[in-house]
Amino acid sequence: MTRRAFILGLAGAAVGAAKSPLWPCVAHAQPRDNKVRRLGVLMALAAEDPEARMRVSAFEQGLRELGWHDGRNIHIDYRWAPDDPERLRRAAGALTAAAPDLILATSTPVLAALRKESTRLPIVFVQVTDPIGNGFVPNLARPGGNITGFTSFEFAIGGKWLQTLKEVAPALTRAAVVFNPHTAPYAEAFLRPIEAAGRTFGVEATAAPAADAAAIEAAITAFARAPHGGLIVLPDVSTVNHRDLIIALAARHRLPAIYPYRFYAVSGGLISYGTEMADVFRRVAGYVDRILKGEKPADLPVQGPTKFETVVNLKTAKGLGLENSPMLLARADEVIE
C-alpha cells in the first residue's frame, strides 16, 4: 500500500466514524487540547466519613455524565481537614500551591481558608450559606471574581425548622440552637427567623454556641435540665463532624431535635429537613465542566438549592414517644424504620 493510499484510508475511517452515533460523545468527552485537567477538592470532613464518600460519589457521577473521568482526562486531588482549623489552613495552602486548574470548596470555612491563599485560582463552592455576607462574592447574579458556586440554605428556613419541631413535638416550649461560632459565622442570621417563629408558636429559642465536643456536651446537658426542650442543629461543618455526639446527647436527655441534612436522621436523629446533598454535588459538576471548558466564574451566577427533603427516624420517634404525633409522618418524604 502506498503512503498516499494509507493516509486516504485513515481519512475515510475518520469520516465513517463521524457518522457513528458514538463519535460525537467521544469528541465531547475530551478537552479540546486533550490536556488532562487538574482539579483540587478540599473537604472539612474525614475521608472515611460515609457522608464524605457519598458526596464524592455523587460529584464524580456528575462529572462522568459530562465526559470527565478521573485518571483519564481529569486528575482529582482530594484533601481532608475535619474539625481542625490549623489542618484546614495547611491543606488550603498546599492545595493552592499545587496550582490546579480549578478548586472545589465544600463549606464556608473551607472557602474562607482558600480565599486567604489565592484570589486568582478559579474556585467553585458548595454548602456555603452566606457568600455575600462573608465577602466571598459581591453579587449572586454576577459574582465578578474568581469564585462562584452553590449556596445551601436561605436564612428563612430557620423559622421552618422551629415550626416543624413544634408540630412533631407539641409539648415543646424551649429550643436550643446548636452551632460552632467559629465555623458558623452566619448563625445570627438563622437565629432571627427562628426567634420570630418561636414567638408565633410559643417557643423560647436560645443560642447554644459550642466550639468543640466538650462544649457541645456541656451546653446540651445544661439546657436539658429544664423540661419541654428541643434542639435545632444548624448547618455547620463542626456540628456535622460531631453529629454522633449531638444525636447521642439528644437521645440521652430525651430531647426532640431537628437537623439540616438527611444523614442526621440516618444516624439516629429524630427528623431532618434540608437540601438533598447528592443532588447538589451532582449539580456542582456542571459548573466544574463549564469552567474547565473556558467559562469564567465571574460570569456564572451563584445558585441556590432546588431540592429539599424531610426524613424521619421512626425508631427515634418511638423512643421519644412521638410516633403518634399527627404531623410526624405527614411531613416525611422518607421514613427510616
Helix (H, G, I), strand (E, B) or coil at 151: strand
What pLDDT score does 173 carry?
98
Largest separation between any pair of C-alpha atoms in the chain: 93
Amino acid at 247: I
Q: How confident is the model at residue 33 (pLDDT cuts 50, 70, 90)?
A: low
What pLDDT score does 32 carry?
54
Q: How confident is the model at residue 26 (pLDDT cuts 50, 70, 90)?
A: very low
Mean pLDDT of 5-20: 37
Asked whether residue 4 carries a pLDDT value surpassing 60, the answer given is no
Q: How confident is the model at residue 114 (pLDDT cuts 50, 70, 90)?
A: very high
Amino acid at 280: V
Quick: pLDDT tens for 139-174. Answer: 999 999 999 999 988 999 999 999 999 999 999 999
pTM: 0.85
Q: Which domains does the chain have, with CATH numbers?
A: 31-152+277-299 (3.40.50.2300), 157-276+308-336 (3.40.50.2300)
The two beta strands, 271-275 and 308-313, are antiparallel
What pLDDT score does 305 carry?
87
The Cα-based distances of 267 to 232, 261, 264, 271 in angstroms read: 16, 11, 5, 11
Task: Classify residue 299 by its DSSP letter.
Answer: G
Query: Which among 86, 129, 103 is positioned nearest to 42, based on CA atoms?
Result: 103
